Amino acid sequence: MDNVKAIVLRAAGINCDLETEHALKLAGAQAERVHINRVIDDPAMLDGYQILVFPGGFSYGDDVAAGKVLANQIVHHLSDILHQFIEDGKLVLGICNGFQVMIKTGIVPGLNGSGKLSLTGQVVTLTDNDSGIFEDRWVYLEPGTDRCVFVNPGQRIYLPIAHGEGKIVCDSEQTLETIKNDGFVAFRYIDADGNEGSFPINPNGSQDSIAALTDSTGRAMGLMPHPERFVRWTQHPHWTRLKDREGMADGMTIFTNAVNYVKENF
């Protein structure tokens, strides 16, 4: 398939939709920003897309909890169509606030046992950073699985974060072990030498240094860092001193992998 179509879901408070649309277009997709209300009115419109992205921001002002209101809308109005979207082999990506939405709907890690989207049975959550403040910095990331289609196995990347509720916490040690051992960790926070560590290496205190999660299919991924904010080398904080600016900027790898997957599999 040469005509890859991506939908970037908008809602009140979302503020990274333009950058996300731009990144998808750079990767070769036909990307369109669509408000959640339009999709609720016509859920079948999702059939025309192969990639769905929940972008970053502060959906509905993060009232109640980050991503909770948007997650409620999705579960109550779009659960069946979105479940089918994933079952059909299509891709779902959630960035920052979008990751929070994916966690609260159960899309990732998808361990609630029902196989459907649900606001109950949540085994993982995202909560306040250990620092107690909004963290805005750049972080190194190490892939944690080889089955997630968004990830280049073995390739460390460098991306910015900007969040106040990014700490991954599991409901039990058993859940944490399952996530660690069964390939649900898409990325972990590391330092420049590839080592895990405390703050600021792990900027929010996430268990097992988890920065991103995938589901059992590897076709859905949520991550706290912002790949759409590093799609050109000039966006790197030290770009004038970089010795190697060959190839694509690190954030582009995620969007390009998604587009290439659709081209090869549809």
In the chain, the amino acid numbered 125 is: T
User: Which residue's structure tokens are 């209101």?
Assistant: 69
Coil, helix or strand at residue 133: coil
Contact yes or no for 44/81 (Cβ under 8 A): yes
190: which 2 tokens? Answer: 């590391």
228 is catalytic: yes
Q: How many angstroms separate the CA atoms of 44 and 84, rounded?
A: 11
Name the catalytic one among 16, 19, 21, 96: 96
76 is catalytic: no
State the alpha helices, DSSP H only, in the chain.
Answer: 17-26, 36-41, 68-87, 97-105, 173-181, 250-265
96 is catalytic: yes
CA neighbours closer than 13 Å in the CB half-sphere of residue 115: 2
Q: How many angstroms separate the CA atoms of 93 and 175, rounded?
A: 22
Task: Specify the pairing of strand 5-10 against strand 30-35.
Answer: parallel
Name the catalytic one among 19, 165, 170, 226: 226
Name the catalytic one among 19, 142, 165, 228: 228
Q: What one-character DSSP code corresponds to residue 238? A: T
153 to each of 88, 239, 247, how far by Cα in Å?
Answer: 24, 25, 17
Q: How many angstroms separate the CA atoms of 219 and 8, rounded?
A: 16
Short-list 86, 85, 71, CA closest to 36? 71
Catalytic residue list: 96, 226, 228
